[in-house]
Amino acid sequence: MNKKKYTKRGAVVICIFAMIFVLFGVNLFRIQILDKNQESQTSVSSYDVTVEAVRGEILDRNGYPLVTNKQVNKIVFSYERFPKAYAERNEIIKALITLFDRNGIEWNDNLPIEIVDGKLVFSEGKENEISYLKSEAFLHLNYYATVDNCFKALCDRYGLTEMPLEQARDVASVYYSMVKNGFNTGRNYVFASGVSGELVSVIMEKSDIFPGVNLQISSEREYTDGTVAPHVLGMVGAISEGEYESYKELGYTRNDVVGKSGVELSFESQLRGTNGIKTVTTDSLGNKTEAYTVEPVNGNTVILTIDFELQKVAQQALEEGVKSLEDKNSRDYPMSGAVVVMDTRTNECLAIASYPTYDNSTYAENAAELNSDEATPLWNRALRSTYTPGSTIKPAVAMAGLEEGLITADTNITCAGIYRYYEDYQPGCTGQHGRQNVVNALFNSCNIFFYETSRLLGIEKLNSYFTMFGLGEKTGIELNESAGSVDSVALREQKGEIWTPGLTIQAGIGHGDNQFTPIQLCSYVSTIANRGVRYKASIVKSVRSPDLSGTVSETEAKVLSQADFANANWDTVHRGMLKVGTESYADFSAVPVKVAAKTGTTTIEKRVNGRMIETYNGLILTFAPYSDPEIAISVVVEGAGSGGSTAPIASAIMEYYFATKDTTETDNSENTLLR
């Protein structure tokens, strides 16, 4: 009885142990076999792909978009699926080139070798690219290798020897760019950008013919109006070999687009953004999953000080003014000029115009023509060209004489048309003005008065005042600008010349080697309007986050210098400029506030059709309202004939600016000179 009982218990125990053993076995099979198989199916391979950040937008001071982005189709080669054998690659590349050429769509052709009259030649102006082609990074050829040496090396390397010359050259161009741009795992090669949807569909439908050729949707710059402020906004373009050397330390690749000029260049670090990284994982069944390892961060938004509408008015006024003067003076060559408009209270640039100009939105297709145009429409005359100021310098000379106590508001100097202080140098005046005080000398632009004042001051003292007004030095604007120069003994010695007294008195009427930019001249007249307070010029109001919710940086008005001159002396100079603005030019009568102004005319020599001709530049500097200044304007027109002929340009800008403002003006100055 007991024996049977123990036997049953033993059987139960054995069954329990057997069940436990089976469970352990099943679990071990799952862990070692099934899970291992599943793991092998879900993580066969993975690679990272760079995801481009969207470049930041550029807005005007009122938030109006100037530069935004548009989606574009790019045809790219994906390294993971693109064939590795050159024979297979060649067939794909040939077919793509044929397809694009047949549809009249450009592909990225950057090989610095061309075929001219059936012969191979190196492309002109592509020295950096040619050097790279020969370098150890690519063909490993000597620096003196010929174009035929380079082409043979390309054909031998990529199996192109049996192809017709033109076809071999085109296929070689693709390989050149693939190597230069670092085509590898995670880095696509961009074969073409801006591809039409129709052509994309054709390529995608023939994936069996084009393995590894994919669509990548990216962004490119779009301009609300490409003709507005192109010199200020600047442009972007593919990174060059020279640029890459400096940019690569910042994480740029040869596929990147960078700012080339203007705001696009100066604020590259803010506009660029940060690229993201997407990890692509493929399992054994060919299933792909994608996930961001690093999210892309779009570039920041740059808000300019420019007013879109005022900028258009300034550009139109400049263009119409120049064309009118071309017709009036029967010029047989294109004239040019520049305008700068500043807020006197901050030196924010409200408008910067250079003429002739161009359209940013069509630059790519017109680049060759624009770069070879003798009128140099790409050159920013407002910030980069320097001009002899002529009589626009006289308010600074008057202030210097008054402050030094060499003249007073009541000082009279007689103008008989000739300055006779020196026996061997007796320059003339524009007329015989008789007795002239400071106000009338500014009004009549009397050279004799300012010859004498300059002689009394001497060149060192004269130049010290020019420097106080910021002349001959950069304004501090965030864009590329020229410094200009103040004529001096040291400058002449550098040129191997000797300073003479005659050069001093010529400097006092704005001649000689005084060379200033239009933006310097605008800052100068703004400083006059501010009674000696000179602000740093600016073109950027603030930098905001991509969605405008946060402020990265904000530009505050910065005082560069402050001349502590007597108010009575400022009153005297201002009255002289008011007399010019109200009595000399009827153009300003349409402006609803009182305008102060000073003109200048300078003689220049200009090469036209291979011969040197003598002509005259015209300049005008203005500020308004006279009693409480808000804006300052400088205008320069090359070949205008006279400074007064540029007044319609300044008045058109003033008229627009004050059209919608409260034009009530209180004039606290002595009004005895108004008629």
pLDDT in tens, 40-72: 445 566 766 667 889 999 999 999 999 999 988
- Per-residue pLDDT band for 211 (boundaries 50, 70, 90) equals very high
Specify the range with the lowest mean pLDDT, choosing from 19-33, 70-84, 179-193, 632-646. 19-33
Radius of gyration of the chain (CA): 36
Burial class of residue 152, CB neighbours in 10 A (0-12, 13-18, 19+): middle
- CA within 13 Å, CB half, 617: 27
Per-residue pLDDT at 92: 96
Specify the range with the lowest mean pLDDT, choosing from 147-156, 254-263, 438-447, 514-523. 254-263
What is the rounded distance in angstroms from the CA atom of residue 374 to the CA atom of residue 609? 11
Q: What is the four-CA torsion angle of 13, 15, 16, 20, rounded to 10 degrees? A: 140
Q: What is the pLDDT of residues 624-639, one digit of tens each?
A: 999 999 999 999 999 9
Per-residue pLDDT at 673: 28
Angle formed by the axes of helices 394-403 and 518-529, nearest 10°: 40
Amino acid in position 112: P
Per-residue pLDDT at 675: 24
Angle formed by the axes of helices 197-205 and 86-102, nearest 10°: 150
What is the rounded distance in angstroms from the CA atom of residue 68 to the CA atom of residue 221? 6
Beta bridge partners of 213: 77
Per-residue pLDDT at 613: 80
What pTM does this model have? 0.82
Q: What is the pLDDT of residues 9-45, one digit of tens each?
A: 555 555 555 565 555 554 554 545 444 444 444 556 6
Query: What value does the mean pLDDT take over residues 428-437?
Result: 95
Closest CA to 333 of 363, 352, 356, 358: 356
Burial class of residue 658, CB neighbours in 10 A (0-12, 13-18, 19+): buried
| 3-class DSSP assignment, residue 518 | helix
Percent composition of the chain: helix, strand, coil (DSSP 3-state, to 5): 40, 25, 35
Per-residue pLDDT at 181: 83
What is the rounded distance in angstroms from the CA atom of residue 36 to the CA atom of residue 27? 13
**CA 653, chain centre distance (Å):** 24
Task: Decide which of 81 and 173 is more confident.
Answer: 173
Per-residue pLDDT at 24: 58
Angle formed by the axes of helices 459-468 and 447-457, nearest 10°: 100
Q: Count Cβ atoms below 10 Å from residue 112 Cβ, excluding itself.
A: 21
State the DSSP code for 330: T
CATH 3.40.50.150: does it fit domain 48-110+185-226+277-304? no
Task: Decide which of 76 and 333 is more confident.
Answer: 76
Percent of the chain topping pLDDT 70: 90
Per-residue pLDDT at 283: 79
Tokens 């057997």 locate to 18
Question: Of all helices (H) and strands (E), which one includes residue 175?
Answer: helix 165-180
* Backbone torsion region of residue 507, taken as left when φ is above 0, otherwise alpha when ψ lies between -120 and 50, otherwise beta: alpha
Per-residue pLDDT at 523: 98
User: CATH topology of 48-110+185-226+277-304 equal to that of 308-360+377-543+554-659?
Assistant: no
Look over the chain and give the mean of its residue pLDDT values, rounded to a whole number. Answer: 89
- 530 pLDDT higher than 80: yes
- 160 pLDDT higher than 80: yes
- Per-residue pLDDT band for 454 (boundaries 50, 70, 90) equals very high
What is the rounded distance in angstroms from the CA atom of residue 300 to the CA atom of residue 120? 45
Vertex 144, ends 141 and 146: CA angle to 5°? 80
What is the rounded distance in angstroms from the CA atom of residue 56 to the CA atom of residue 285? 40
Strand ranges in 444-492 using DSSP code E only, listed in sequence order:
none
Class of domain 308-360+377-543+554-659: alpha beta
- Indicate the pairing of strand 301-304 with strand 58-59: parallel
- Per-residue pLDDT band for 674 (boundaries 50, 70, 90) equals very low
Percent of the chain topping pLDDT 90: 69
Per-residue pLDDT at 47: 65
Query: What value does the mean pLDDT take over residues 440-459?
Result: 97
Per-residue pLDDT at 670: 39
- Per-residue pLDDT band for 486 (boundaries 50, 70, 90) equals very high
Q: Could you tell me the residue ranges of all domains in the chain?
A: 48-110+185-226+277-304, 308-360+377-543+554-659
Amino acid in position 46: S
Residue 290, φ and ψ in degrees, nearest 5: -125, 140
What is the rounded distance in angstroms from the CA atom of residue 521 to the CA atom of residue 383? 10
Specify the range with the lowest mean pLDDT, choosing from 42-56, 210-224, 336-350, 549-563. 42-56
What's the full length of the chain, in residues?
675
Q: What is the DSSP string of 102-171?
A: HTT-------SEEEETTEEEEPTT-HHHHHHHHSTTTT---TT--HHHHHHHHHHHHT-TTS-HHHHHHH
Per-residue pLDDT at 6: 47
What is the rounded distance in angstroms from the CA atom of residue 68 to the CA atom of residue 510? 43
Per-residue pLDDT at 1: 47
Per-residue pLDDT at 668: 42
| 3-class DSSP assignment, residue 252 | coil
Question: Of all helices (H) and strands (E), which one includes residue 262?
Answer: helix 262-266
Per-residue pLDDT at 9: 59
Q: What is the pLDDT of residues 102-120, one digit of tens each?
A: 999 999 999 999 999 999 9
